[in-house]
Structure 1
Amino acid sequence: MGEATVDRRRRVPRTDVVLADPGLAEATAREGRAAVKAAVVATLQRVREGELDPDAVVGAALAALPGGLRPVLNATGVVLHTNLGRAALSPAARDAVSAAAGHTDVELDLTTGRRAKRGRTALAALHRAVPDAGDVHVVNNGAAALVLAATALAGGGREIIVSRGEMVEIGDGFRLPDLLESTGARLREVGTTNRTSVTDYERAIGPATGFILKVHPSNFVVRGFTSAASIAGLAALPAPVVADIGSGLLAPDPLLPDEPDAASTLTEGADLVIASGDKLLGGPQAGLLLGTAPLIERLRRHPLARALRVDKLTLAALQATLTGPATPTWEALRLAPEELLARTRQVQARLAEVGVESGIVASEAVVGGGGAPELTLPSWSLSLPPAYADRLRTAATPVVGRVERDRLLLDLRCVPPASDPIVVDMVAAVASVAG
């Protein structure tokens, strides 16, 4: 038996000592002692096998618990990080979710005592935000919105006309053609990867046409010898135009000049606009459908709509997002670099007070979430040894940064200022272990 193995086993803490750690108190109250103990025992085995540092047991045990999502601090510099849940809800939206957790009037008119339209106040708020829409509807995500439209308008073998340059993959291996064909629709591809004209669409229209689909390729850019048909040009053709703008921008935004928005797309002539609620809108996961009143009513009354409907918590969060103050997404996108630098310097100074050395480097943040792929936001990051990354990710309060050029960068852009002291505490704890 080697000396290193003996030393590692000596450093393995006892199970009862780990269970008594204050960092596990909340998890024990929530999950029960038996579940926490099982996680601790499994984690200690990883320490014995040399997979894990003994000082990382509490964080790793918390991560190993089977139930519950763990809050993390997003210090990646990616505002809408899909793996971290995309948009962080505003305080107003969180309060609304909490209030809606009990019994609500989601489908009841309290004045008459009769059944009412589900989510009517949230839908009214969305309609007010985009008055150019004849009507609006909400389902559980953007892909669901597209599936509903495809099923209702082109199911049963009708054709969806779409440009070859817009046959995108939307993430995790899910491809637009597969999604659309699963509805029973047939795809009629037109144009080429880099150039598609209105004439290409016009020639494809026939008796079997269900609709023309225009997709914003939000997670990539094709440059060079390119051209694409405009919504206005397509709207002049004898077929409904469905525009999937993806990112959830409801109105033009000077910060995002290349991102299509729902209001402008409708004004240009689209019959239906599809967008996501948990991206640039900064709200909960939802699929937003905005279009002509007859078309929206057709989608709302389709049998599939029942399977795709949103719950009361989503409706509450969506309404609060639309009517409340600026969202964390909006604030993160517009955070002034000088303000971010001042915060980063304060964190660095607090770390220095407890004997932790760190640097500050100029960096770039991005929108993320499949939006504005070429937009970068001037930013500043705390620079730490790359070995800190794993330990911070498994800390009592996980802090997720990014490793770049052999250094861990913590960008505070998406970290609430009130959580800066937590960042200090977590980094100090990791540094004390690293020695």
Structure 2
Amino acid sequence: MSGGNGDRKQSLLRRLPPVDAVVDHDDLSEAVRALGRGIVTHHVRHTIDELRTVILSAPDAAPETDLDCVAQHAHRRLRRHDPLPRILNGTGVILHSGLGRAPLSDVARDAVTRAGAYSLLEVDRARGDRLARDSRASELLCALTGADAALVVNNNAAATLLILTALAQGKEVVCSRGEMVEIGGSFRIPEVMEASGAELVAVGATNITRLSDYENAITERTGALLVVHTSNYRILGFTGAPTIAEISALAHRHDLPMVHDVGSGSLLSPEELGLGDEPPVGKSILDGADVVCMSGDKLLGGPQAGIILGKRTYVDHMRKHPLARALRVDKMTIAALEATLALFLDAETLRDRHAVTRMLTLSQDDLRPRAEAFAAIIREHGPTDAAPAVIDTTSETGSGALPPLQIPSVAVAVDSPVGPDRLARALREQDPGVFSRIQDDRVCLDLRTLLPGEEEQAARIVADVLTTLTS
């Protein structure tokens, strides 16, 4: 090591300020008031440790370590580690997994706030007796789908695991090769089945499975027939599969349960939504499926949850299984789910009050005036050479729901003299952060996924960032 490097290293290390001096710096005073001295001190210590590591490993690349610079680094670290900070979603992806999937409706958010105090989670108000925490949600689910009974667990993978464990542990489960799906986080149906203690019997081919394939696979060891809706991809062209009604009838002839994992799960038909081809959950029940499971935070537009629907004898058996306790949901989830489900009882107001349904059904004519107003704010408050353009684009559902569907949408496209990547990053780092997408070397903000009232705030942030980057 050269002497110059060693001298710089020692100089930087000596100038690292004490933790308390950084915490008391003016740049962090607002954070101390808002978050408390303890959490700010925690992040300041980590900041100094990170700087010390950089100095020791690469002193030439290390930043300055005077008090002002360290306070600025600590402030940036606090921003990065905000507890679930609010962001503005201009990506055009409605169910964005990285940004929390479904945005909850106002009534669902209010319900979560109420549930944060004491609440009637497991008590019958009139009798004072204990009741299942998901009893109210289950009643609504049955009313909306026609199911005999319902059970709520913490996500759809958990629902699938509980169903297979309770109904088919130690037995064989017949499923089409074309439905060996991988869900989020690299989890695959065969692996979930293995964890349940059931044995997978794959039948048919990737593109075609016939009813006879299921029937030929049934033995005395068969515990269930499983159909997994390929909600996160589609196989097109030369394809074929029996209907849910046909598979259900086959299962019942052999006294077996027919299980349908519908994945993203919609309570609305394609006709009611006006787009897509996602079959409504109620149709699976009507077609004879004994057990159906779906996600709560996709097309349903609620909190993360796994929803199990079906015949009472099967659902009650799962409710009593020890695994159900390990997979149960908390009061916040129950509150948000109940409020979300209640919205579906009023078709006339659903579109206005349910965020996901509203986003899915907005037309380009609905979005264009909002985009024009967005661009006008950038022109008024941004740099003089800002030239935002209102463009036609496409949105997508996201999170594996309605995968082939490209929804015509409207966005505001912004050129940046420093390049689109730097502008997009600068927008993400604001408070609140603005998430966008890059298209044709421009930063684009899709109006479909900005919630009502967010356009002006997002546009002003874009204008301010453009001004800063070009000054």
- Give the structure-1-normalised TM-score: 0.89
Pair 1:380 & 2:397 matched: no
Is the Cα contact below 8 Å between 1:44 and 1:57 reproduced in 2? no
Work out the percentage of aligned pairs sharing the same amino acid: 40
For residues 320 and 37 of structure 2, the distance between their equivalents in structure 1, rounded to whole angstroms, comes to 41
The equivalent position to 1:177 in structure 2, one of 190, 201, 209, is: 190
Farther off after superposition, 413-422 or 274-283: 413-422
Q: Which residue of 2 aligns with 1:291?
A: 310
Q: How does 1:26-37 map to 2 (within 5 A)?
A: 28-29=35-36, 32-37=39-44
Query: In the TM superposition, what is the alpha-carbon distance from 1:115 to its structure 2 partner?
Result: 1.6
1:174-208: CA deviation from partner (whole Å, max 9, x where unpaired): 11111111111100000001100111000001111
Query: In the TM superposition, what is the alpha-carbon distance from 1:412 to its structure 2 partner?
Result: 2.0
Q: Number of paired residues?
A: 419
Q: Which residue of 1 aligns with 2:181?
A: 168
Q: Which residue of 2 aligns with 1:421?
A: 456
The equivalent position to 2:144 in structure 1, one of 116, 129, 152, is: 129
Q: Which residue of 2 aligns with 1:280?
A: 299
1:22-49: CA deviation from partner (whole Å, max 9, x where unpaired): 6x46753496431354466679899x94
| 2:167 maps to amino acid | L
The equivalent position to 1:328 in structure 2, one of 320, 332, 355, is: 355
For residues 419 and 36 of structure 1, the distance between their equivalents in structure 2, rounded to whole angstroms, comes to 30
Query: In the TM superposition, what is the alpha-carbon distance from 1:273 to its structure 2 partner?
Result: 0.8
For residues 443 and 460 of structure 2, the distance between their equivalents in structure 1, rounded to whole angstroms, comes to 16
Pair 1:400 & 2:435 matched: yes
Farther off after superposition, 34-43 or 250-259: 34-43
The equivalent position to 1:349 in structure 2, one of 362, 373, 376, is: 376
Change (3 A) 1:434 1:209: same
Greater RCO, CA 8 A, separation 6+:
1
Q: Which residue of 2 aligns with 1:190?
A: 203
For residues 31 and 425 of structure 1, the distance between their equivalents in structure 2, rounded to whole angstroms, comes to 33
Farther off after superposition, 119-128 or 251-260: 251-260
For residues 44 and 389 of structure 1, the distance between their equivalents in structure 2, rounded to whole angstroms, comes to 26
Query: In the TM superposition, what is the alpha-carbon distance from 1:321 to its structure 2 partner?
Result: 0.3
Is the Cα contact below 8 Å between 1:18 and 1:40 reproduced in 2? no
For residues 382 and 42 of structure 1, the distance between their equivalents in structure 2, rounded to whole angstroms, comes to 42
Query: In the TM superposition, what is the alpha-carbon distance from 1:59 to its structure 2 partner?
Result: 7.8
Is the Cα contact below 8 Å between 1:39 and 1:64 reproduced in 2? no
The unaligned stretches of length 5 or more in structure 1 are 2-8
Q: How does 1:4-83 map to 2 (within 5 A)?
A: 16-20=25-29, 24=31, 28-29=35-36, 32-38=39-45, 49=61, 60-65=76-81, 68-83=83-98
Higher percent of residues as helix: 2
| 2:151 maps to amino acid | H
| 2:164 maps to amino acid | A
Q: Which residue of 1 aligns with 2:332?
A: 313
Query: In the TM superposition, what is the alpha-carbon distance from 1:297 to its structure 2 partner?
Result: 0.7
Change (3 A) 1:373 1:50: farther
Q: Which residue of 2 aligns with 1:201?
A: 214
| 1:64 maps to amino acid | R
| 2:126 maps to amino acid | T
Q: How does 1:90-101 map to 2 (within 5 A)?
A: 90-101=105-116
DSSP-derived class of the 2:390 partner: strand
RMSD across aligned positions (CA): 2.7
1:146-198: CA deviation from partner (whole Å, max 9, x where unpaired): 0000001111x211100001001112211111111111110000000110011
For residues 373 and 75 of structure 2, the distance between their equivalents in structure 1, rounded to whole angstroms, comes to 26
DSSP-derived class of the 1:195 partner: coil
For residues 401 and 83 of structure 1, the distance between their equivalents in structure 2, rounded to whole angstroms, comes to 13
Query: In the TM superposition, what is the alpha-carbon distance from 1:427 to its structure 2 partner?
Result: 1.2
Is the Cα contact below 8 Å between 2:377 and 2:460 reproduced in 1? no
**Which of structures 1 and 2 has the bigger CA Rg?**
2
For residues 231 and 292 of structure 1, the distance between their equivalents in structure 2, rounded to whole angstroms, comes to 16
For residues 317 and 45 of structure 2, the distance between their equivalents in structure 1, rounded to whole angstroms, comes to 52
Change (3 A) 1:251 1:411: closer
Change (3 A) 1:207 1:63: farther
Q: Which residue of 1 aligns with 2:401?
A: 371
Q: Which residue of 2 aligns with 1:4?
A: none
DSSP-derived class of the 1:375 partner: coil
1:228-270: CA deviation from partner (whole Å, max 9, x where unpaired): 1210110121221100111121242323442122111111111
1:287-337: CA deviation from partner (whole Å, max 9, x where unpaired): 111101111111111111111111111111111001135311011111121
The equivalent position to 1:359 in structure 2, one of 379, 389, 400, is: 389
For residues 276 and 456 of structure 2, the distance between their equivalents in structure 1, rounded to whole angstroms, comes to 36
Query: In the TM superposition, what is the alpha-carbon distance from 1:17 to its structure 2 partner?
Result: 4.7
Q: Which residue of 2 aligns with 1:117?
A: 132
Change (3 A) 1:383 1:259: same
Query: In the TM superposition, what is the alpha-carbon distance from 1:111 to its structure 2 partner?
Result: 1.8
| 1:33 maps to amino acid | V
DSSP-derived class of the 2:202 partner: strand
Is the Cα contact below 8 Å between 1:194 and 1:225 reproduced in 2? yes
Is the Cα contact below 8 Å between 1:39 and 1:62 reproduced in 2? no
Query: In the TM superposition, what is the alpha-carbon distance from 1:19 to its structure 2 partner?
Result: 2.0
For residues 241 and 447 of structure 2, the distance between their equivalents in structure 1, rounded to whole angstroms, comes to 38
The equivalent position to 2:229 in structure 1, one of 185, 192, 216, is: 216
Query: In the TM superposition, what is the alpha-carbon distance from 1:110 to its structure 2 partner?
Result: 2.3
Change (3 A) 1:257 1:339: closer
Pair 1:229 & 2:245 matched: no
| 1:388 maps to amino acid | L
Pair 1:300 & 2:319 matched: yes
| 2:77 maps to amino acid | A
Q: Which residue of 2 aligns with 1:252?
A: 269
Change (3 A) 1:187 1:353: same
For residues 298 and 215 of structure 1, the distance between their equivalents in structure 2, rounded to whole angstroms, comes to 21
For residues 33 and 397 of structure 2, the distance between their equivalents in structure 1, rounded to whole angstroms, comes to 33
